[in-house]
């Protein structure tokens, strides 16, 4: 009898609470996951980028992460701009991250340091749509030889955002082994 009483007053309510929490949490998690998937990059959705001020007109290729010697870095496309796999897409409502070389293999982002607030950047998607972005800031951050804390702060620029943003990333300045990164931040027009 005592066992039945403990089961009714303690165990059963705990089990019901756990089941109720699972029913509430699972749909919420699946909704968040579905939204995240919708914002992520379908392979090759961005076709090209143009920035009239610096005479840039380049195709855009998908790039992924590379792990070597215990460090994970992003691939950088040669002779093209690279779209970071898993970052946003035009109209997706989050951070679209594009990178390119400054001083080798096409130098597609050679002149990013000439951009200023208000300059225009256009992305064309494979379905023919055009999305315009306006530069809001240009930042230089220390990367090569920087502290782990500084590198973590730098990495925040390429993380997902709650509003759509375009982030262009390259090495800086124009020399054989640049120790800084240039970041161009732009928002939809």
pLDDT digits (tens, 9 = 90+) for 99-147: 999 999 999 999 999 999 999 999 999 999 999 999 999 999 999 899 9
Task: Calculate the average pLDDT of the chain.
Answer: 85
Considering the domain architecture, whether residues 7 and 85 belong to the same structural domain is answered as no
pLDDT mean over 44-69: 94
Q: What is the 3-state secondary structure (H, E, C) of the chain?
A: CHHHHHHHHHHHHHHHHHHHHHHHHHHHHHHHHHHHHHHCCCCCCEEEEEEHHHCEEEEEEEECEEEECCEEEECCCCCCEEEECCCCCCCCCCEEEEECCCCCCCCCCCCHHHCCCCCEEEEEECCCCEEEEEEEEEEEEECCCCCHHHHHHHHHHHCCCCCCEEEEEEEECCCCCCCEEEEEEEEEC
Considering the domain architecture, whether residues 61 and 144 belong to the same structural domain is answered as yes
Give this prediction's pTM: 0.76
Considering the domain architecture, whether residues 107 and 176 belong to the same structural domain is answered as yes
Considering the domain architecture, whether residues 72 and 32 belong to the same structural domain is answered as no
Residue numbers of the domain that contains 1: 1-39
Q: How many domains does the chain have?
A: 2
Considering the domain architecture, whether residues 32 and 51 belong to the same structural domain is answered as no
% pLDDT > 70, the chain: 77
Residue 116 structure tokens = 């200023």
Say if residues 96 and 166 touch (Cβ distance below 8 Å): yes
pLDDT mean over 1-13: 57
Considering the domain architecture, whether residues 50 and 34 belong to the same structural domain is answered as no
Considering the domain architecture, whether residues 17 and 85 belong to the same structural domain is answered as no
Considering the domain architecture, whether residues 54 and 88 belong to the same structural domain is answered as yes
Considering the domain architecture, whether residues 8 and 62 belong to the same structural domain is answered as no
Considering the domain architecture, whether residues 15 and 50 belong to the same structural domain is answered as no
Considering the domain architecture, whether residues 157 and 93 belong to the same structural domain is answered as yes
- CB under 8 Å to 84, separation ≥6 — which residues? 41, 63, 74, 97, 98, 99, 158
% pLDDT > 90, the chain: 68
pLDDT over 90 at 2, yes or no: no
Considering the domain architecture, whether residues 177 and 88 belong to the same structural domain is answered as yes
Question: To 5 degrees, how large is the angle CA 178–CA 179–CA 181?
Answer: 90
Task: Look at 16-30, 65-79, 93-107 and tell me which has the smallest mean pLDDT.
Answer: 16-30
Phi first, then psi: what are they for 35, rounded to 5°? -65, -45
pLDDT at res. 180: 96
Which CATH number characterizes residue 95's domain?
Answer: 2.40.260.10
């Amino acid at each position: 009898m005592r066992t039945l009483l403990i089961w009714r007053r303690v165990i059963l309510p705990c089990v019901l609470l756990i089941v109720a929490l699972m029913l509430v949490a699972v749909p919420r998690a699946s909704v968040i996951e579905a939204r995240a998937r919708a914002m992520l990059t379908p392979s090759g959705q961005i076709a090209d980028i143009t920035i009239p001020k610096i005479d840039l007109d380049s195709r855009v290729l998908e790039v992924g992460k590379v792990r070597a010697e215990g460090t994970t870095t992003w691939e950088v496309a040669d002779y093209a701009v690279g779209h970071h796999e898993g970052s946003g897409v035009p109209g997706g409502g989050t951070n679209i991250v594009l990178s390119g070389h400054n001083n080798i293999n096409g130098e597609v982002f050679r002149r990013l340091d000439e951009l200023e607030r208000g300059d225009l950047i256009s992305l064309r998607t494979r379905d023919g749509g055009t999305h315009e972005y306006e530069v809001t800031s240009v930042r230089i951050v220390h990367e090569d030889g920087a502290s782990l804390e500084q590198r973590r702060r730098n990495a925040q620029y390429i993380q997902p955002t709650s509003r759509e943003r375009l982030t262009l990333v390259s090495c800086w300045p124009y020399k054989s082994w640049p120790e800084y990164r240039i970041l161009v931040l732009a928002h939809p027009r």
